[in-house]
Amino acid sequence: MSILSVQNVNKSFGGLKALNDVNLEIEAGTVHAIIGPNGAGKSTLLNCFVGRLDPDTGTVTFDGKSLLGIDPHEINQTGVSRVFQTPEIFGDLTLLENVMIPAFAKRDGSFTMNAWGSVSGQQDIYTKAIDMLADVSLDSKANDMAGQLSRGDKRRLELAMCLVQEPKLLLLDEPTAGMARADTNNTIDLMKRIAERGVTMVVIEHDMHVVFSLADRISVLAQGTVIAEGLPQDIKGDPRVQEAYLGGAHL
């Protein structure tokens, strides 16, 4: 059963056709990777899922409801969370405070920092945040400043900030970009644990080690068009994908 359905989506920027009649069906409880060369339209497509961009034409529905024309914070309230290429955290707050803020926002429907005074007095939010930090193995650093973390730990913190909102769909844009291999492997393990909980994930990723370690299904974008979709083993051997993605070299 599809949890996210994308039908005939087109998006242009002036004379540049960024997305060309894109169709995708993301099955609930799966990890669906979207790959392709730089400039293929992957991040543009993700932005159409979360209200940062509106397609020129086409539909995007999540859990049977249209996501078009809805503000990003409202999309978040429906159960969609996004992890960006560069971790978006509050560097001058502690890890605990970083996780408490989205937990509060999910409960009360607002991400405004004006609500911080009431967050600090909420024992249930505090407990939930501590538990989530433990889930991503960061509870020992709960009172450290987030800006001092390594890139790998910042990514784990951002995942905790998303997961504390109990999303149905998690969108990840280059989740391992810039990481050393050890951090990449730790992130893969964490994402596998998230998938085991039944959270649907859409992952944009250039690292094929990450893609083939995680994905149940893969869609390939090239010049804004889906040129292939299928199981990882099918995509790996598809000559169209090899040509578009690596100039004919094997994945």
Quote the tokens at residue 180: 């050393």
Q: pLDDT digit string (tens) for 117-144?
A: 554 557 888 999 999 999 999 999 999 9
Q: pLDDT digit string (tens) for 71-108?
A: 988 898 899 999 887 888 999 999 999 999 998 877 76
Between CA 127 and CA 92 the distance in angstroms is 21
| Domains, in order of start, for the chain | 1-79+167-251 (3.40.50.300), 90-166 (no CATH)
Q: Whole-structure pTM over 0.85, yes or no?
A: yes
- pLDDT, residue 117, reads 52
Mean of pLDDT values over 223-227: 94
Quote the tokens at residue 88: 């978006």
